[in-house]
Amino acid sequence: MDFKIYFLYFILYSIVGWCIEMIYCRICQGKWVDRGFLFGPYCPIYGFGAIILILSLQPFSANPILLFILSLILTTTLEYVTSYVMEKLFNAKWWDYSHLPFNINGRVCLLNSLEFAILSLFLIYLIHPKVIDLINMIPSQYITLIATSFVIILAIDITATVSALVNLKEKLLYLQTIGEQIKEKANNKMQNSALIKQLEELKLDIINKKDILQNRLINAFPNIEIPKFNNTLEELKIAIHKYQYQKKTKRKKNLSIDKKNNKKIS
């Protein structure tokens, strides 16, 4: 039962982390961005971080200054390790803080670390005591049901995410291959024209609704880098942003026409 309860803590704080990321991106970028590596509304790094902090730091809750320093160290280490492991595991760099001061290899930076340390204080002193009360209100049989349901949901989500990433890499390889063929056949206008058409069709296939999972990964991590396909990936990002801008412009234009028509009718 203790494991199930901590698993619920993990899920709950992963969802809270996802909400924080959404709000943070809204404030910084001026738009809502579906953040998180997985497709569901949760960021597991926040869940793991919260569990580590709860288990490690509660004994030091009587000393806020020490708690802040330890939180700073733990959260910074967790973010750095997560960045490193994900890069090695998927051969892709998901975020980069190289443009911010006091960063370490672009994986962590002082600003983020301070923000996470402050969040940690809120977690230990304000949020987690309320969460304990909330979880204690749930009957044990429902805890088992909820925990089992989320295990299944996570398993499906992880499978879908990894599959989408593998599929994206395969399409990037195909795009890169066609791009190289275009360069090789630069003097043959007929062959080049057919290849360029094939390249544009493939880009459209990637950015349309059938490939919404890959698009979400690119939108969620705009600074994602896949070393082998960096140039091709940048071209794809530009194509996606262009497509989204055209779609948004068309929607505004249609809305404006509808308003004019409504005025004429009235």
**Tens digit of pLDDT for each residue in 59-83?**
898 999 999 999 999 999 999 998 8
Amino acid at 245: Y
What pLDDT was estimated at residue 10? 93
pLDDT above 80 (res 222): no
7 vs 32: CA distance, rounded Å = 28
Cβ contact 240:265 at 8 Å: no
Which stretches of the chain are DSSP H helices? 2-29, 44-57, 64-90, 110-122, 128-136, 140-184, 189-207, 212-220, 230-265
Mean pLDDT of the chain: 78
8 vs 1: CA distance, rounded Å = 11
Shortest CA distance to 89 belongs to which of 148, 35, 162?
Answer: 162
153 vs 38: CA distance, rounded Å = 11
Cβ contact 190:141 at 8 Å: no
Q: Which residues pair with 104 in a beta bridge?
A: 108
What pLDDT was estimated at residue 215? 61
Find the mean pLDDT for residues 171-190. 63
Shortest CA distance to 33 belongs to which of 19, 54, 50, 47?
Answer: 19
259 vs 9: CA distance, rounded Å = 48
What pLDDT was estimated at residue 42? 86
Rounded to a whole number of angstroms, the distance between the first and last alpha carbons of the chain is 65
Lowest mean pLDDT among 3-12, 85-94, 214-223: 214-223
Please provide residue 225's backbone torsions phi and psi, each rounded to the nearest 5 degrees: -125, 130
Top-confidence residue, 1 or 158: 158
CA angle 185, 186, 187 (to 5 degrees): 90
Q: Output the CA torsion sign for 186, 187, 189, 190.
A: negative
